[in-house]
Amino acid sequence: MKAVVAIFFLVSLVLSALLPRFGLAFPFVFAVVFGIYGIGRSSSRHLNPLNDLPNALRVFLGSAGGYLMTLDRVFVFPSAGILLFLGGVYLNDEYQRRALYSLRVGRKGGSIALLGIDGSGKSSHSAVTSGWLQGRGYRAELMPFHRYLFVEKLSSISSGVARGTSLRRRGNPLRPVVSLIDNLLLQLSSSIGCRVEGTVVIYDRFIWSTFIKYEALGYPVKPLAPLYLLPRPLFAVVLDVSVDKSLRVIDERVSHIHYPRSVLEHERERYLQIARKNGYPVIDATGPFDEVQSRIEGQLVHLFPMVKGAKTG
């Protein structure tokens, strides 16, 4: 299909250059013709928009890009033409089909962040929430923010630059910068388009959590605060537990980093500040697991109503 888009881009470019008066019509004509061709070669007797419209849209984008490339009097038009062509080449058919299906059944996705200090049950509740959403007819994806794309490798390299200097007093000073880039890429790559295609991304922690952890550990992250705190999920829930419980849970985990009480106290206060500032619910996570989970679902039930045709039970 990528080659087909490229062909229509070139054909539209040539015809628009030869017949500039009709150039604007070519993208529409090509898209309609391609859609009819797709229907004609289909074994089905009726239009299936989930199969035919995505490819027709890609043809339209490629053709429109070719037309705009001929409008060379203003720089913005050829630039937009290149972007439309690339969109036609790389726009995933499966994504479009999911978006069309979600539009048809009234399913809107989004992102949820479960926040809280260590031991508050974020990972366990994220997994159960994922299953609950799937039962309501949504595509759910878990995204743990305590795992990185590439920060461990890059930070180990950058630590060699700072090794032996006074900057090592608070650990590797470049790590927060590398983590910021890593987390931004992770957040963007996982959330772009999720609302349109009806996917709910459940963040176990969020990019804010990375900032709060570094701040609590004494890293010089204050100048980076605007960038760390800029991304926002559709909704967030703070699972609150006492520092004493957090320390008990950490002690039971063999491989967990044992942070001092002062670090956890700072983190807890920052999460509560975020909840107050943004109006996010704070759920006492010290009670029975099922009870806490029920309260989480109660906060989400209106944001993600049951999808038409979803199987319950």
Same domain for 44 and 182?
A: no
Exposed, middle or buried, 26 (CB in 10 Å: 0-12/13-18/19+)?
buried
Domain end marker among 49, 65, 91: 91
Same domain membership, residue 159 and residue 191:
yes
Residues 183 and 279 in one domain: yes
* Residue 312 counted as domain residue: no
Q: What CATH number does residue 263 fall under?
A: 3.40.50.300
Q: Tell me if 99 is assigned to some domain.
A: no
**What total of structural domains would you count in the chain?**
2
Token representation of residue 256: 């967990």
Last residue of a domain, one of 46, 64, 91: 91
Q: Which of 38, 67, 91 is the last residue of a domain?
A: 91
Question: Does residue 101 belong to any structural domain of this protein?
Answer: no
Residues spanned by the domain of 85: 2-91
The pLDDT assigned to 50 comes to: 46
Same domain, 174 and 83: no
Residues of the chain with pLDDT under 70: 38-54, 72-74, 90-106, 146-173, 193, 309-313
207 neighbors 228 (Cβ within 8 angstroms): yes
The 3 state secondary structure assigned to 207-267 is HHHHHHHHHHHCCCCHHHHHHHCCCCCCEEEEEECCHHHHHHHHHHCCCCCCCCHHHHHHH
DSSP string, 89-150: HH--HHHHHHHHHHHHHT---EEEEEE-STTS-HHHHHHHHHHHHHHTT-EEEEEETTS-SS
Asked if residue 100 belongs to a domain, the reply is no
Q: Which residues contact 50 (CB under 8 A, 6 or more apart)?
A: 97, 100, 101
- Within a domain: residue 136? yes
Same domain, 143 and 259: yes
pLDDT for the residue 158: 44
Q: What is the pLDDT of residue 184?
A: 85
The total of other beta-carbon atoms located within 10 Å of residue 10's CB is 15
Tell me which residue of 115, 163, 157, 117 sits closest to 257, measured CA to CA. Answer: 117
66 and 188 both lie in a single domain: no
pLDDT of residue 242: 96
Do 13 and 142 reside in the same domain of the chain? no
Within-domain flag for 98: no
Residue 64 sits in the same domain as residue 165:
no
Q: Indicate whether 87 and 128 sit together in one domain.
A: no
Please check whether residues 262 and 196 belong to one and the same domain: yes
Does 96 fall in a domain? no
Distances in whole angstroms, Cα of residue 33 to Cα of each of 67, 129, 177, 267: 17, 45, 50, 59
Is residue 306 domain-resident?
no
pTM of whole model > 0.95?
no
**Long-range contacts from 175-181, C-beta under 8 angstroms, 24+ separation:** 175/151, 175/214, 175/219, 176/210, 176/211, 176/214, 176/219, 176/220, 176/221, 176/224, 177/224, 178/151, 178/154, 179/148, 179/151, 179/155, 179/210, 179/214, 180/207, 180/210, 180/224, 180/227, 180/228, 181/151
Same domain, 77 and 138: no
Q: Which pLDDT value is given to residue 11?
A: 86
pLDDT of residue 14: 87
Phi then psi for residue 201, to 5 deg, are -95, 120
- The answer on 281 and 213 residing in a single domain is yes
